[in-house]
Amino acid sequence: MGVDRVLELAKAAGLVNSAPALDVYAIVTEPSAMPLVLSTLQSLRIAGVSVQMHTSTSDGMGSMKSQFKRADVSGARYALIFGADEIKTGQVTIKPLRESAAQQTTQPLSNLASWMTTLQSSF
């Protein structure tokens, strides 16, 4: 019996905890916005929101398409899009990744942690 099969059986029996679901995956199209993005993500983490973002020294942040693929594979519920337009207006676009009927929305960065915490309570 392979290790993967043993792990699946252990999970099914409740002997192994699965990793907690990831709340958000940050997608950054403007590398110059990294200080603002990192500060925002830290605020989310302090508020109890689990956050992930791809970083690489060899290929930069990658294209938006590749970042969305990583967001999907990560299992995150939402993508936070930090694009040029959002950065200029002090906002972030929030795109649901697991609910096909849900619409994307835009929130001010100053209100994001509070908004995400409220959203988390509905999970």
Q: Does residue 2 sit within a domain? A: no
Residue 18 is predicted with a pLDDT of: 60
CATH number, domain containing residue 97:
3.40.50.800
How is residue 42 written in tokens?
């830290």
Residue at 7 is within a domain: no
What one-character DSSP code corresponds to residue 100? T
1 in a structural domain: no
Residues in the chain: 123
Domain membership of residue 8 (yes or no) is: no
Q: Would you say residue 33 lies in a domain?
A: yes
**What is the model's pLDDT at position 62?**
83
Q: How far apart are CA 55 and CA 37, in angstroms?
A: 12
Q: Is the pLDDT of residue 106 over 90?
A: yes
7-47: pLDDT as tens digits: 678 777 877 666 667 899 999 988 888 999 999 999 999 99
- Count of domains observed in the chain: 1
Residue 6, domain member (yes or no): no
pLDDT at 59 over 70: no
Kindly report the pTM of this predicted structure: 0.78
User: Domain for residue 11, yes or no?
Assistant: no
**Would residue 108 count as lying in a domain?**
yes
Domain hosting residue 64, numbered range? 19-120
Closest CA relative to residue 123, chosen from 105, 91, 96? 96
